[in-house]
Amino acid sequence: MQPTATVLVYSDNANTREQVRLAAGRRPAADVPSVEYIECATPHTVLDTLDKREVDLCVLDGEATPAGGMGVCRQIKDEIFRCPPVLLLIGRPQDAWLATWSRAEAVVSQPADPAVLAETLAGLLREKRQLAGA
């Protein structure tokens, strides 16, 4: 049995967090572990969670307030040792270039197509597993 992957979902909007959970599901693909979600509504909670728990992947809402996911991504990439990969949810496809500044590994436009979100999330979990040598 594969271990569970821990996915942190940051958004100040509870509906956005729920949409991520429902779109990706408990098992985004057959070849990746089942997923346990940790929901965070504030940047402080994101930093605190990453400091105290092992997280395999972060999904950050680029439209969150007061701190958007792009800024939070940039901050955790600078401050968290062995920062997990980040999937950034963006409001407009034209904002994808900003993800390079934030150093996110992937972006998905909102509202997210469930199949695209699940496949992108699964792809990042596969890459992390390959890098870990599993």
Its domain, for residue 60, covers: 5-132
Residue 103 predicted with pLDDT over 80: yes
Q: Which region among 16-20, 36-40, 61-65, 111-115 has the lowest average model confidence (pLDDT)?
A: 111-115
Residue 132 predicted with pLDDT over 80: no
For 8, phi and psi rounded to 5 degrees? -90, 130
Residue 1 predicted with pLDDT over 80: no
What pLDDT sits at residue 51? 95
Q: Which region among 4-8, 56-60, 100-104 has the lowest average model confidence (pLDDT)?
A: 100-104
Average pLDDT over residues 106-130: 92
Residue 130 predicted with pLDDT over 80: no
**Helix/strand/coil for 5:** strand
| C-alpha 9 chain-centroid distance | 6
Average pLDDT over residues 99-109: 91
pTM, two decimals, is 0.93
Distance CA 87, CA 73 (A): 9
Q: Binning pLDDT at 50, 70 and 90, where does residue 126 land?
A: very high
Distinct helix (H) and strand (E) counts, the chain: 5, 5
CATH code, domain with 117: 3.40.50.2300
What pLDDT sits at residue 131? 76
Residue 4: both structure tokens together: 């569970």
Residue 99: both structure tokens together: 């993800």
Structural domains of the chain, count:
1
